[in-house]
Amino acid sequence: MKKIEIGDFVVGGDRLTLIAGPCALESLELGLEVGRKTQALCKKLGLNYIFKASYDKANRTSISSPRGPGLEKGLQWLARIKSELGAPILTDIHESWQAAPVAEVADVLQIPAFLCRQTDLLVAAAKTGRAVNVKKAQFLSAWDMKSVLGKLTEAGNDRVMLCERGTTMGYNQLVVDMRSLVIMRSLGAPVVFDATHSVQMPGGMGNSSGGDRRFALPLARAAVGIGVDALFLEVHPQPEKAMSDGPNMVPLDLLEKFLEPVCAIDRLVRSGIGPVSLDWCER
């Protein structure tokens, strides 16, 4: 499997990577608060850390929903967070023209799930040379991600991570097919599990999405038990006051309680059991 260097560590190596931060970049102060506390906890638990936040939530349910600071101010804030934390930065892009300016600050460009089949967006992200995290669309199978991965590699970039974030199952409901983690890993790219978006209820609150954070930890434990390379979490000190995705985010003061059992399972898997593969039953 491909290993990807990001900052001073490797995704797909011998340590689990945590990608975590607030859903939207509500303020510089919020980003720094979440980043500092999460980074300190990662050091304590032996995790690699990538800070994440979106400068523009372009896919909100309602046109009147707040979207964030926008590209110019958002990149200024992300650059400041990157400088102060000394940590890699991940953020979303939604249009092809955003790839180049965002790549000047971000270490990882993220392709939102709804846009993962957009060829021009994928090619633009690939051509920056930055690592790319592609979220599997809620309407795609795991094996469909082979074509998504192919678009990026054929555009000259093999620094790609594939991310599971749940599959549509009826109105306002998602379900996680854990087979997808094994299937996507068999494609040769590091796999990320998004534990908080997987418990989202898209549009479930009428003008905004709902969610049920209670299930984020059970799903994260299952994913790490199968063997993933990175865990994606949205974290906020007061989720009930968050600009977006509050119902599914992990409260910052509960993050250690969340991560401790996850790390214990990850250590067990990495100590010799190893990740699950599809060839276990071959004779």
pLDDT tens digits, one per residue of 2-35:
999 999 999 999 999 999 999 999 999 999 999 9
Does residue 274 fall inside a structural domain?
no
Residue 74 has pLDDT above 80, yes or no: yes
**Other CB atoms within 10 Å distance of the CB of residue 28:** 17
What pLDDT does 275 receive? 84
Query: 52: domain range?
Result: 4-269
Q: How confident is the model at residue 282 (pLDDT cuts 50, 70, 90)?
A: confident
Query: At 36, which CATH number?
Result: 3.20.20.70
In a domain, 79, yes or no: yes
Residue 169 lies in a domain: yes
C-alpha span between 237 and 154 (Å, rounded): 41
Percent pLDDT > 90 in the chain is 84
pLDDT at 208: 65
Tokens of 167: 């599959």
φ, ψ of residue 110 to 5 degrees: the values are -105, 135
Asked if the structure places residue 65 within a domain, the reply is yes
Give pLDDT, residue 67. 86
Smallest Cα–Cα separation from 73: which of 54, 87, 92? 54
- DSSP symbols for 180-191: HHHHHHTTTS-E
Residue 228, domain member (yes or no): yes
pTM: 0.95
The tally of CA atoms less than 13 A away on the side-chain side of residue 147 is 9
Look at residue 278 and tell me whether its pLDDT is greater than 80.
yes
Cβ neighbours around 257 below 10 Å, total: 11
Residue 233 domain flag: yes
Is 141 inside a domain boundary? yes
Return d(Cα 80, Cα 73) in angstroms, integer: 11
Residues in the chain: 283
Asked whether residue 191 is domain-assigned, the answer is yes
Please give the pLDDT value at position 102.
98
Kindly provide the b/e burial profile for residues 183-212, where b requires at least 16 CB atoms within 10 angstroms of the residue's own CB: bbbbbebbbbbbbbbbbbbbebeeebbbbe
| Main-chain dihedrals φ then ψ at residue 70, nearest 5 degrees | 90, 175
Residue 44 contacts residue 12 (beta carbons within 8 Å): no
Residues 6+ away with beta carbon under 8 Å from 192? 19, 133, 161, 162, 163, 164, 228, 229, 230, 231, 232
What's the rounded mean pLDDT across residues 249-278? Answer: 93
Q: Return the minimum-mean-pLDDT range out of 28-37, 200-209, 239-248.
A: 200-209
Q: Which helix (H) or strand (E) holds 162?
A: strand 160-164
Rounded CA gap, 189 and 161, in Å? 6
pLDDT in tens, 143-201: 999 999 999 999 999 999 999 999 999 888 999 999 999 999 999 999 999 999 999 99
Domain count, the chain: 1
